[in-house]
Amino acid sequence: MATPSKKARLNNIDQYRDQVISHPLARGIELAEVQTFLASLPQNRYPGYAYHNRGVLSCVQPRGGVPLFDDQLLLTKKLNEAGADFIPLTIDSCTRQGQYDTAAQLLQRSEAEGKNYLNGYPLVNHGYELTRELYQGIDKPVSLRHGTPDARLLVEIAIASGITEIEGGGVCYCVPYSEGFPLDRCLLYWQYVDRICALYSTEDRPIHRESFGPLSATLVPPAIAVTIQIIEALLAAEQGVISFAVSFGQTGSLIQDVATAKVLKELTQHYLDKFGFNEVRHYLVYHQWMGQFPPQREKAAALISGSTLIANMICADKIVVKTVDEALGVPDMETNAEAVATVKYLLHTFRCAEPITSPLIESESALIESEVREILDAIFDMPGDVFWGSVYSAFQQGYLDIPFSPHADNANKLITMRDKNGSIRILDRGNVPISDENLEMEKQLLASKGGKLDKSYRDLLSDINMMV
Amino acid sequence: MKTKQRENSSNLVKVAVDIGSTIIKIAQLDHNDAQLSQQFFTRDFDLGVAPQVKSLLEGVGADEILMCSSANGGLRAGIISLTEHYSGIVVQNQALNAGANPLFVKRLSDEQGDMRFVDVLIVCGGIDCSDAPLFESMIENLTLVNFKFGSLIYAGNSYFADSFRQRFPEAVVIANPLGGTLTNGSNSVFEALRNAYLEDLVYKEGISELNQQLSMKIRPTPEVVSSGFHRILSNRSNIKVTGASLLFDVGGATTDIHYTVEIVRDDSLVRPGAASSIARYVFTDLGIVASRDSTLQQMRSHPLSYEFLNLVLTHDVRETYQLLREGEYVPSPEVLSYACLFLSLDRFSHGKGSGLPVADLNKVSQIILTGGATQNLSEAIVANILRMFFSDVGVDPAILIDKKYQVWIDGITWFSDVVN
């Protein structure tokens, strides 16, 4: 039996770190110099400070990464002027896979031809010295958005660049993203990332970590999303992270979104306290719809508006926004800035001081909470000597199962469907340790709302593409 | 041959024994599995292995005796699969991790077969489902006349196990490692081969009496090394690794590599089985004693053999090169060990070998060399050999020569089911 513990902390990280930063593309990063640089940044560059001062309005964060430095600089300025509270740096897919040589070649070609051959900013190749210049005069936190299973070098360079928010985790950046990257290796590599974030943190200027809650963004039941968020918060806390955001993606059901937010906040606090991580400050991030977006701009705008209202209703600390061109590809900077302005306007106009509630939300919350506790209790009870090992085993045994994940360690036995209100219901629990009572409740809810227990392939596709 | 005496018998808790083809290695361990001492004994073939081991352990007051053996050089396995990239590779990976040496992977549709004798022939393919007409017809038409084998195992679609057994009554049916969903299947082939190895060992070496006295089964040494590597990678060992790793175990007959699968190139057509973070490959023709001649033969014809000699020799490189080309060079065991390392790296970086993926060696951050043949190697020379396979951009991997057989100790004292 292995529960989260500070004893799991990587206290001998220097020997690992020496080799990671000996990579030529790390360009001689030095711990002391980076610490001095981080201390010289304005306090507003730290997410904890932004969250503390947000009042009742959620912070707004767009996505954005382009290969060329000058273009990224322009994008950064544009998003800053549009009112983004967090500035994004989205990384290209070659860098995410550790293919730095390929990224270098494509960057060179992009520079030579003035055309983007990379789908993000190749941070490792640009290096930390140049990237620091991107954020001169920026008085807001910068967030690293990537999807990298082995992010050790990338995160070293990101922090040295002055990026103070690191998204990702050993589960959320592996199982939904990759077919073959070994989950156990990924969990260990993210221990390193968490530890590095902790080592660069000070009490008033912590490097902030954020998990990616939408996962596969395809019919993920709230209980699974919440459980994995809590697990990643605990894994980060084990390594000494003191500022962490849990997140989830819009489910497609208003009731379920509000209930999920409630349970996620409460149980994250509960389990951090339970295992002695009282020092961790945690926040809630809400992702606008992560599934297929409507190609019509008017529908996309309506979807963005609707999810912004939900962010207000749940009092999210931050909302990660989409654009009206989401269905068409990577948006241009004007569209991106427009999305920020729209969301800011809506947040301000329909601000909400406290999360809304209702009997329906309370009963939905009770079901999600009960399921999360059942799954987590089963994982904590697994034999083993370290918590990350239990998480790894939980996937192998199907205790954790993310619908539509391509990963080899994912059981894909958990079957979910939408009820008539659009809520995601569990039809077949697979090996996920949810009690018979809760499974029966899920089925009753599916049936009572006029849903069918024998949906066809077309119905399933319809559930997935409900916004289109 | 006895190299080291026991140091502190009062702390002795466990004894680990490795029965090799020519040497028996015994390590005495304390309650933290730290080594108190190590001893090496030449095999006494007149006496027999069981009486010799019993005599060596006589009077040793250990609570637990852990034993492994590589005495038979590993089981030879043949695989017949529906596909090479799904069932074939999954079964091959489990066979390798169990310490067996897969000699071939053939498709069910292959009519030529392979007449090399294998101890175990495994027939596999498909996920568990009733609607599999292609697989069904292939099983119905399978004859096995072009295969020579000792035992037959069926590890395919479980819906057709009965019809397979009707055609081949001697077949042992085990669970389909692909299960019903292609992923998260069982370790059935791994377990079956590990047990078959033990039975084979007991039969050939006459150690059944010894086996009855042990609280645990005798394990195949390659499987123990693989467990040790896994333990190291899980941060549960005194050996610390920093990332993607590659372990070499150079022996007399074979050279084994154990590696983290993230070093396999994305464009490699051959891939290790899914749901495993480490994999093993065995070069059956590279070694310093039984495979000495084939190793030398390959060095002789290798286009970079002069560059290789230039790295490992301090003088007379030209003369040695000439002798090598003319087949008159008599290398030292160290040079042969370097040659095994060089040739296996060369093949791994190009995927030259049946079932061997193409590795991106630039991703390797740690190299570990273990086994008797690597004990006298120089880290500097190993580093020079490695540089022949690495590009200019990247990190030089850390090199560790396991001079205390710690990988073996880590493996024999660790059971992955503790974790998993």
> B267 touching A, CB under 8 A?
no
CA angle A387, A388, A394 (to 5 degrees): 90
A343-348 CB contacts, 8 Å cutoff, 24+ apart: A343/A60, A343/A304, A343/A308, A343/A319, A344/A60, A344/A82, A344/A83, A346/A305, A346/A308, A346/A309, A346/A312, A347/A57, A347/A58, A347/A60, A347/A308, A347/A311, A347/A312, A347/A319, A348/A57
Domain definitions of chain A by residue range: 6-349
Note whether B393 contacts A101, CB cutoff 8 Å: yes
Residue B185 pLDDT: 67
Spacing of C-alpha B348 from chain mean position: 15
Note whether B395 contacts A19, CB cutoff 8 Å: yes
Choose from A441-450, B153-162, B393-402 the range with maximum mean pLDDT: B153-162
CATH number of B76-198: 3.40.50
Q: How far apart are CA B3 and CA A362, in angstroms?
A: 72
Q: Determine contact, residues A201/A213, Cβ cutoff 8 Å.
A: no
What's the gap in Å between the CA of A297 and the closest CA on chain B? 37
Residue A431 pLDDT: 96
Residue B417 pLDDT: 44
Per-residue pLDDT band at A178 (split at 50, 70, 90): confident
Chain A residues touching B277 at Cβ < 8 A: 182-185
What's the gap in Å between the CA of A409 and the closest CA on chain B? 5
> B233 touching A, CB under 8 A?
yes
Q: pLDDT (tens digit, 9 = 90+) per residue, A355-397?
A: 999 999 999 999 999 999 999 999 999 998 899 999 999 999 9
Q: Determine contact, residues B344/B255, Cβ cutoff 8 Å.
A: yes
With CA atoms as reference, the chain B residue closest to A10 would be B235
Q: How many CB pairs under 8 A join A and B?
A: 91
Residue A212 pLDDT: 98
Domain definitions of chain B by residue range: 1-62, 76-198, 223-412
Q: How far apart are CA B131 and CA B35, in angstroms?
A: 55
> A386 touching B, CB under 8 A?
yes
Q: How far is CA B284 from CA B22, B74, B96, B291, B367, in A?
A: 18, 10, 12, 8, 21
Chain B residues touching A25 at Cβ < 8 A: 393
Chain A residues touching B239 at Cβ < 8 A: none
Assign residue A154 a region: left if phi > 0, alpha if psi is -120 to 50, beta otherwise?
A: alpha
Chain B residues touching A27 at Cβ < 8 A: none
Helix, strand, coil shares of chain B, percent, nearest 5, are: 35, 20, 40
> B181 touching A, CB under 8 A?
yes
> B269 touching A, CB under 8 A?
no
Q: How far apart are CA B212 and CA B190, in angstroms?
A: 22
N-to-C CA span, chain B: 39
Q: Which of A250, A262, A326 is nearest to A288 (CA)?
A: A250
Q: How far apart are CA A280 and CA A294, in angstroms?
A: 38
Note whether A411 contacts B394, CB cutoff 8 Å: no
Per-residue pLDDT band at B32 (split at 50, 70, 90): confident
Q: How far apart are CA A166 and CA A146, in angstroms?
A: 9
Mean of pLDDT values over A327-340: 92
With a pLDDT cut of 70, the percent of chain B lying above it is: 89
> B416 touching A, CB under 8 A?
no
Residue B1 pLDDT: 43
Query: Is the per-residue pLDDT at B339 higher than 90?
Result: yes
Q: How far apart are CA B374 and CA B385, in angstroms?
A: 14
What's the gap in Å between the CA of A191 and the closest CA on chain B? 11
Q: Please, which residues have CB within 8 angstroms of residue A391's CB and are 6 or more apart in sequence?
A: A170, A171, A187, A231, A235, A379, A400
Residue with tokens 């909470």: A369
Of B236, B275, B394, the CB nearest to A23: B394
What's the gap in Å between the CA of B417 and the closest CA on chain A? 8
- H-helix segments, A114-217: 123-126, 128-134, 152-160, 183-199
Give the best residue of B128, B277, B362 to mutate against chain A (max A CB count within 10 A).
Answer: B277
Mean of pLDDT values over B321-343: 94
Note whether A180 contacts B242, CB cutoff 8 Å: no
What's the gap in Å between the CA of A241 and the closest CA on chain B? 20
The whole-chain average pLDDT of chain B stands at 86
* 3-state secondary structure labels for all residues of A291-345: CCCCCCHHHHHHHHHHHHHHHHHCCCCEEECCCCCHHHCCCCHHHHHHHHHHHHH
Q: pLDDT (tens digit, 9 = 90+) per residue, A41-64?
A: 999 999 999 999 999 999 999 999
Query: Is the per-residue pLDDT at B8 higher than 60?
Result: no
Per-residue pLDDT band at B277 (split at 50, 70, 90): confident
Chain A residues touching B391 at Cβ < 8 A: 101
Residue B3 pLDDT: 40
Residue, of A280 and B419, whose pLDDT is higher: A280
Residue B71 pLDDT: 65
Of B243, B396, B419, the CB nearest to A389: B419
> B365 touching A, CB under 8 A?
yes
Per-residue pLDDT band at B416 (split at 50, 70, 90): very low
Q: How far apart are CA B110 and CA B79, in angstroms?
A: 12
Residue A14 pLDDT: 87
Query: Is the per-residue pLDDT at B94 higher than 90?
Result: no
Per-residue pLDDT band at B420 (split at 50, 70, 90): very low
Per-residue pLDDT band at A452 (split at 50, 70, 90): low
Chain A residues touching B365 at Cβ < 8 A: 19
Of A16, A182, A385, the CB nearest to B419: A385
Of B183, B236, B262, the CB nearest to A185: B262
- H-helix segments, A350-456: 359-380, 387-396, 436-448
Comparing A397-406, B208-217, B294-303, B392-401, which segment has the lowest mean pLDDT? Answer: B208-217
Q: Which CATH number fits domain A6-349: 3.90.950.20, 3.40.50.2300, 3.20.20.70, 3.20.20.240?
A: 3.20.20.240
Residue with tokens 């206290």: A11
The catalytic site residues of A sit at 96, 167
Q: pLDDT (tens digit, 9 = 90+) per residue, B109-165?
A: 888 899 999 989 999 999 999 999 999 999 999 999 999 998 899 999 999 999 999
Query: Is the per-residue pLDDT at B182 higher than 80?
Result: no
Query: Is the per-residue pLDDT at B7 higher than 50?
Result: no
Per-residue pLDDT band at B343 (split at 50, 70, 90): very high
Residue numbers of A between 158 and 197 with CB closer than 8 Å to B: 179-185, 188-189
Residue with tokens 């002391």: A32
Q: How far apart are CA A442 and CA A370, in angstroms?
A: 12
What's the gap in Å between the CA of B37 and the closest CA on chain A? 27
**Residue B282 carries which DSSP code?**
E
Q: pLDDT (tens digit, 9 = 90+) per residue, A242-260?
A: 999 999 999 999 999 999 9
